[in-house]
Amino acid sequence: MNVWHDTLTALLSSPIVLLIWLVITATCLALLLRDLRVMNPEIAGLMRLVWFLTVLYSGVLGLALYWFTGRKQIARDSLWRRGARSTAHCYSGCGLGEILGVVITVGVLSLGTWWVAGITFLLAYAFGYALTVGPLMQEGVPLSTALWDAFASETASITMMEVVAIASDIWLSKGATMDQTIFWTSMAVSLSLGLAAAYPVNVLLIRFGVKEGMHSPKEMAG
């Protein structure tokens, strides 16, 4: 295990790997924005932001989620596609909270591991819930009801996502600072691992009626 870990961390410590990741992610973002503008202009507002952040965090994986589940051109919708869209929706907010949490606690405050984990968890929950509560309140749902709906539908997904993401980030980065390459590469890897871990949770939540799942993109085009 130590040999495998050392090999992986050596790879993630390479500036070339970070540069390749940045180039690939920038290319994926360009492809996403072009497709949204030309082929799917009906997808706007919150979901446009969701897909942008998902691709920003996870590059090719994020673009694949959009391409196969978030475009109006998909042949048919399914539980698995609804689960992917719901995961991306959760991921966009939680990922932002996680990035801010790690940057603030490690890069600015230089706190210890448990402080990093705790504060990052709180910010991830706050941003994840906000992305659900905000749209509900815009639809006229009272704050207390919106908060309860967000708690009931998103807690399991956020918890799984952040346990995996934060634990893997701490395991890979080993106290790295913002001026080290592995600080950024391990964050990218851990975010994507959190996305993958939360996906089956969202599918099950939709399957058992705990959450509805995001609407089909064809409905936006209707």
Residue 173 CA to residue 184 CA, distance in Å, equals: 9
The residue among 219 and 172 whose pLDDT is bigger is: 172
Examine the pLDDT at 100 and tell me if it is beyond 50. Answer: yes
pLDDT at 1: 61
Residue 48 CA to residue 89 CA, distance in Å, equals: 10
Model pTM score: 0.93
Residue 106 CA to residue 109 CA, distance in Å, equals: 6
pLDDT at 93: 94
Identity (one letter) of the amino acid at 193?
A: L
* Mean of the per-residue pLDDT values of the chain: 91
Examine the pLDDT at 221 and tell me if it is beyond 60. Answer: no
Query: How many CB atoms are located within 10 Å of the residue 174 CB?
Result: 12
The residue among 221 and 69 whose pLDDT is bigger is: 69
pLDDT at 222: 45
Residue 63 CA to residue 44 CA, distance in Å, equals: 16
User: Quick one: what percent of the chain has pLDDT higher than 70?
Assistant: 98
* Biggest CA pair distance of the chain: 55
Assigned token pair, 68: 């196969």
Query: In 3-state terms, what secondary structure has residue 180?
Result: coil
Examine the pLDDT at 73 and tell me if it is beyond 60. Answer: yes
The residue among 48 and 214 whose pLDDT is bigger is: 48
